[in-house]
Amino acid sequence: MIKITKKINDTVARDKKAITTIAREPYPMVVAKGAGDYVWDISNNKFIDFTSFISVYNLGVNGNAEIRRAIKNQVDKLMHPAFLDFYSELPVKLAENIIEMMPSGFGKVFFSNSGTEAIEDAIKISKLFTKKNYIIAFYNSFHGRTLGSLGLTAARTSQREHFGPFPNVVHSPFPDPYRPIAGSQSPDETAIACIEHIEKNILGKEYSSKEVAAIFVEPVQGEGGYIIPPKLFMKELRRVATDNGIILVSDEIQSGYMRTGKFLAMDNFGVTADIYTMAKALGGGLPLGATISKTALGNVPLGAHGGTFGANLASVAAGIASLNYVKRNKRALEKMVKDKNKIIMKRLNKMRDNYEIVGDVRGLGMMIAAEFVKSKKTKEPAIKEKDKILQECFNNGLILLGCGTSSIRLIPPITMSRENIEKGLDIFEDAIKAVSAGA
Ligand SMILES: Cc1ncc(COP(=O)(O)O)c(C=O)c1O
């Protein structure tokens, strides 16, 4: 059982005074150090990590030894290369390494410091390359919190309130197999209904293909609830984009970098986008975003885009070390994701069968979530119960993050041991049992 000390309470109180809070879980996790499968708080409480620190530490908490060594070595040489004005070899090397991981035809990388910046770049270059203005994005999507990317985000009103208007974005329904847009639809029927909305209503009645520059989509919606669309949806979305001269942007910031078992999550759908965005795991723990586009789209004119801190050399060195590890161990990582998906999904499926409040469980690779409901019949979101489960898991040494309205994501580092996965699942199930029993 975790002990909440005065030191923890004091830090939380000081945080509330000094920090402009954006989001926090319902439990007081004050992180101090981490390694591999574990994280310790400032009072030395030890936790199993089922968060990968918001999908960043895919290769283990605090990266691995190779990543940390690369960062230390680079910091002693040069940290900031002024890449907006000067040339530097390491970012070129990382770009080349990323391009090697991409489908053929991808040859351009823009480096930034975060996911939201990677999205801002994708917005700008899709407008620039098409000379068109409007963008289609999806309800429940999360693409970031700066004003351009926030315009695309439509997961919660609390994220958008007071920040609009957001020009030139149209939102469209995303197919959720658990909550189809019409009650009785099959997953493919809901996928087709979503595609028809884009073709008939948006492109047919609001903004013609002459005005729509891009469609932004997450292969698996992340913050919106780990919603996995049917394959048919992505294939049809690709067709609509191609038919209408619209750029398809795959936001892989949360779902990419081996999380679903493939370097690109979009590959699970047999679809190739025109632009990909990556961040989170890409920098091995340091801030690094990348926007990767097809060479054929063109070049960005001088001065049209950039940023002082893009391609920080410590981040880039971490990115190179991390990607080297992924390339060397790709087969092993793919197998780890497959095997762990089976272990986790088997346990979750049983939990869904045994507990009324577990409405749905879903997972692509190790991008896995359980959705909590008041009753399986009504599917009414069980928000308080979800928070209680998070708290109960924390009390017993497991950290997890919520997503969507009443879901909890299970995203341990890909490298987590089978034993710790099972231990974490035991804590998770005990919490569900306790909350179901009204604890
Ligand atoms: C799919 C997706 N896009 C964009 C972002 C924004 O990334 P950042 O928080 O690094 O700005 C996130 C963050 O959670 C994300 O999950």
Contact 396, 1 (CB under 8 A): yes
Question: Which whole number is the average pLDDT over 234-254?
Answer: 98
> Domain containing 339: what range?
6-62+331-438
Q: Are residues 53 and 82 in the same domain?
A: no
CA of 144 to the centre of ligand 1 (A): 5
Q: For residue range 349-392, what is the model confidence (pLDDT) as tens digits?
A: 999 999 999 999 999 999 999 999 999 999 999 999 999 999 99
Question: Tell me: the pLDDT tens digits for 320-357?
Answer: 999 999 999 999 999 999 999 999 999 999 999 999 99
Whichever domain contains 399, its CATH number is 3.90.1150.10
pLDDT tens, residue by residue, 208-231: 999 999 999 999 999 999 999 999
Alpha-carbon distance of 196 to 202, in angstroms, equals 9
Ligand 1 atom nearest to CA at 119 = 4
pLDDT in tens, 23-42: 678 899 999 999 999 999 99
* Residue 120 CA, ligand 1 centroid: distance in Å: 11
pTM: 0.97
DSSP 244-311: TT-EEEEE-TTTTTTTTSSSSGGGGGT---SEEEE-GGGGBTB--EEEEEEGGG--PPTTSS--TTTT
Residue at a domain's end among 267, 293, 328: 328
Residue 439: pLDDT over 80: no
Would you state the pLDDT for residue 23? 62
**Residue 21 — very low, low, confident or very high, per pLDDT cuts 50/70/90?**
confident
Q: How many structural domains compose the chain?
A: 2
Pair 145, 269 in one domain: yes
Task: Report the residue among 51, 116, 174, 220 best suited for mutation to probe ligand 1: largest number of ligand atoms under 8 A from its CB.
Answer: 116
Query: How would residue 22 be classed by pLDDT, with cut points 50, 70 and 90?
Result: low
User: Ligand 1 center to residue 169 CA distance, Å?
Assistant: 18
Compute the distance from residue 350 Cα to the ligand 1 centre, in Å.
31
Residue 69 lies inside a defined structural domain of this protein: no
Residues 420 and 297 reside in one and the same domain: no
pLDDT in tens, 105-163: 999 999 999 999 999 999 999 999 999 999 999 999 999 999 999 999 999 999 999 99
Ligand 1-lining residues (CB < 6 angstroms): 114-116, 119, 142-144, 218, 222-223, 251, 253-254, 279
Please indicate, yes or no, if residue 270 is contained in any of the structural domains: yes
